[in-house]
Amino acid sequence: MNLAAGDYRALWNSKPGLRAVYSDIYRRMLAQAVPGPILEIGGGSGNFKSFVPSAISTDITPAAWLDVVCDAQHLPFANESFANVVMVDVLHHVEFPMQALRELERVLVPGGRAILCEPAITVLSKPFYRRFHPEAVDVSADPLKTGAINAEKDPWDSNQAIPTLLVGRFRDQLAGVLPSLQLRSVDWFSFVAYPLSGGFRPWSALPAFMARPLLAVEWHMRKLIGRFAAFRLLAVYQKARPEA
């Protein structure tokens, strides 16, 4: 379901359970941030920008609440401009994720962090995403491939398996080709609340009063069942500091 940014914004405003789910994600992302300016890639309907007004928010398609329109694979910022880069449900839409990761590394200061929240492909989530979600799940893809960027690519084209591949099967290979961007942590979380929220669809089976306690319980369960049951992953990469 590919809606305009304004339509997503309307759904966001009408669904308190969904807002609670994403606000919980934003809080956890900010808990991983280091002091300094924040760049958001894939600002979409402006939800993170509303949560962190000081963030520089970008997206590939224009909207009134964005600061910059640009492609994640070619950021119009100087080297070492930001202490943090945040992305929510963005990397799996990028044509060449490796190029985007190189750009993240370039614009981060040494010690800066790239904080990414993306779909997690697990035993529980994989059949759900394949059957009930319109975006592809191709675990045979190579997330490190590069090529000529296609300016005509539909920004909604995606492969939800990309983030799981990057922090899993291709973790060591990524470290070999981009050693200065080091994977600091991965949390596998979100089991029931997110699917019950209905995402950015008109329906929701998540009562607003249940959202926060359910999200808290899920977060505490992540180390026990996350790798097998999570619907999301939170990956934190840190740019290496130069050796003295």
pLDDT in tens, 119-135: 999 999 999 999 988 89
pLDDT of residue 176: 98
Residue 3 above 90 pLDDT?
no
Are the C-beta atoms of 206 and 215 separated by less than 8 Å? no
pLDDT of residue 5: 66
Q: Closest by alpha carbon to 80, among 241, 236, 244, 234?
A: 241
Type of residue found at 9: R
**Residues of 190-203 as b/e, b for ≥16 C-beta within 10 angstroms?**
bbbbbbbbbbbeee
Backbone φ and ψ of 57, nearest 5°: -105, 130
Q: Which residues contact 28 (CB under 8 A, 6 or more apart)?
A: 187, 219, 234
Tell me the three-class secondary structure of 143-199, residue by residue. CCCCCCCCCCCCCCCCECCHHHHHHCCCHHHHHHHCCCEEEEEEEEECCCHHHHHCC
Residue 27, H or E segment: helix 16-32
Q: What one-character DSSP code corresponds to residue 93?
A: G
Does the domain at residues 5-239 carry the CATH identifier 3.40.50.150? yes
pTM of the model: 0.94
Q: What is the pLDDT of residues 75-134, one digit of tens each?
A: 999 999 999 999 999 999 999 999 999 999 999 999 999 999 999 999 999 999 999 888
Average pLDDT of 41-52? 93
Are the C-beta atoms of 120 and 129 separated by less than 8 Å? no
